[in-house]
Amino acid sequence: MSDANKVYITNTTTGVPELISRTTFVNSSGWALRGNTGNQDNVTNLLGNTDDVAINFTINGQKSGRIGNSTDLNISYGYRTITNNITGYYNSAFGKESLSLNNSGYENSSFGYLAMQRNMSGFNNSAFGSQALLINTSGSDNTAIGTNSLIRNVSGTGNTGIGSTTLTFNTGNNNTAVGHSAGAAITTGSGNILIGSNAGSALTTTSNTLVIANTNTALPLVSGQFATNGGTLTLNNGLGVATSAPSTTSTLNINGSFATGILRYTTGGSLTLNESHHSVRILGALATSITLPAAADAKGRVYRIINGSAAALSFVTAVVNPDGTAIAAPAINQVITIQSDGTDWVKISQ
């Protein structure tokens, strides 16, 4: 064999160079820069550590990937991902500078260019998309799916943005936005649910609001307000019940029967009506006095009073005829229907 196929290797024992055949190294266990051949798919052919030490990758001297050990369990791929981590654990970062400033945050998942780039202590966040949750630092339990989703959230918690530029300026809590740019202008508002492209995109500090729309409009298909006990719901068009083709000339279309509440009252004494009542049947042998809510607070509300008692029945709150003259409560076996016009309780039928 000619010397062209040999290399000099220093003998570590004698310190003397020795001429060794190059073929000695062809089948070595090292990984070649130009690729290896002849490997077998088994546990002895591997790239990694056989002890419990994390593996780090660098590009241009910068940390650009890490497979954590059995203690920290962080994993990252991409230039300067999770570069400042100290105590954070169970984090996954994929994409340039994803989670690069994370210090103590844990159980975060970020996928995309600059996704959660400035997170430091936030935990339980999920960011999927370029710059999703970009400047989040301490906010937790957020989910951002889409380019620039929740991009300016800093410390807000419990938010969900699905779609590009959803909740772009959000700093509030517990907002849910689904659709391109839904809730894009929300800042300090909290507890909102916004569904559809650009739904609620003009809202800023509003809280506890429901909007369903497919454009930025002052009259969405559905809107409402959440409250401690229930809330309000507005439909900005006709509603059909048990019909697939409701009339466009009526607000409510019901194909079939409908039911309203009815109270059977037998105890006598004072009875105060509220938003839970509609029809009231008075029975028994004891006198009953009925107090109505202020007309100004119940505009449009309708009550139907059915008197089945021979005992005295009276209205504590004034009720008037259409001409404004006062009327008494119905006598036995009589029925009266009254409605608030915002000023008075008016008899509308008998």
CA torsion sign for 206, 210, 213, 218 is: negative
Tell me how far CA of residue 88 lies from CA of 83, 122, 124, 172, 325, in angstroms: 11, 10, 11, 24, 76
Domain residue limits at 313:
262-349
Residue 167 lies in a domain: no
Structure-block tokens of residue 320: 């008037």
Residue type, 341: D
Residue 273 lies in a domain: yes
Average pLDDT in the 152-171 region?
97
For the segment 322-344, what is each residue's pLDDT rounded down to a tens digit?
A: 999 999 999 999 999 999 999 99
- Are residues 167 and 159 in contact, defined by beta-carbon separation less than 8 angstroms? yes
Higher pLDDT, 347 or 232: 347
CB atoms within 10 A of CB 288: 22
For the segment 100-155, what is each residue's pLDDT rounded down to a tens digit?
A: 999 999 999 999 999 999 999 999 999 999 999 999 999 999 999 999 999 999 99
**Residue (of 310, 314, 349) closest to 333 by Cα position:** 310
What does the radius of gyration of the chain's CA atoms come to, in whole angstroms?
36
Residue 45 lies in a domain: no
Cα separation, 292 vs 185, whole angstroms: 42
The pLDDT, as a whole number, for residue 218 is 87
Residue 289 lies in a domain: yes
For the segment 35-68, what is each residue's pLDDT rounded down to a tens digit?
A: 777 777 877 777 888 899 988 889 998 989 988 8
Q: Indicate which CATH number applies to the domain containing 311.
A: 2.60.120.1230
Only one residue has tokens 């409009």, namely: 217
Higher pLDDT, 1 or 168: 168
The fraction of the chain above a pLDDT of 70, given in percent, is 96
For the segment 206-225, what is each residue's pLDDT rounded down to a tens digit?
A: 999 999 999 999 889 899 99
Strand partners for 227 = 230
For the segment 275-312, what is each residue's pLDDT rounded down to a tens digit?
A: 999 999 999 999 999 999 999 999 999 999 999 999 99
Which pTM was predicted? 0.74
Q: Is the pLDDT of residue 19 over 60?
A: yes
The pLDDT, as a whole number, for residue 1 is 47
Average pLDDT in the 263-273 region?
97
Cα separation, 152 vs 111, whole angstroms: 17
Residue 340 lies in a domain: yes
The 3 state secondary structure assigned to the chain is CCHHHEEEEECCCCCCEEEEEHHHHCCCCCCCCCCCCCCCCCCCCCCCCCCCCCEEEEECCEEEEEECCCCCCCEEECCCCCCCCCCCCCCEEECCCCCCCCCCCCCCEEECCCCCCCCCCCCCCEEECCCCCCCCCCCCCCEEECCCCCCCCCCCCCCEEECCCCCCCCCCCCCEEECCCCCCCCCCCCCCEEECCCCCCCCCCCCCEEEECCCCCCCCCEEEEEECCEEEEEECCCEEECCCCCCCCCCEEECCCCCCCEEEECCCEEEECCCCCCEEEECCCCCEEEECCCHHHCCCCEEEEEECCCCCEEECCCEECCCCCECCCCCCCEEEEEEECCCCEEEEEC
Residue 342 lies in a domain: yes
The pLDDT, as a whole number, for residue 23 is 61
What value does the mean pLDDT of the chain take? 91
Poorest-pLDDT segment among 14-28, 39-53, 210-224, 238-252: 14-28
The pLDDT, as a whole number, for residue 54 is 87
For the segment 189-201, what is each residue's pLDDT rounded down to a tens digit?
A: 999 999 999 999 9
Total residue length of the chain: 350
Residue 158 lies in a domain: no
The pLDDT, as a whole number, for residue 239 is 84
- Are residues 253 and 238 in contact, defined by beta-carbon separation less than 8 angstroms? yes
* 101: Cβ contacts below 8 Å, ≥ 6 apart: 83, 84, 117, 118, 119, 120
**222-227 and 209-212 beta bridge pairing:** antiparallel
Q: Is the pLDDT of residue 81 over 90?
A: yes
Cα separation, 157 vs 175, whole angstroms: 9
* Phi, psi (degrees; rounded to nearest 5) at 23: -65, -15
Residue 283 lies in a domain: yes
Give the number of domains in the chain: 1
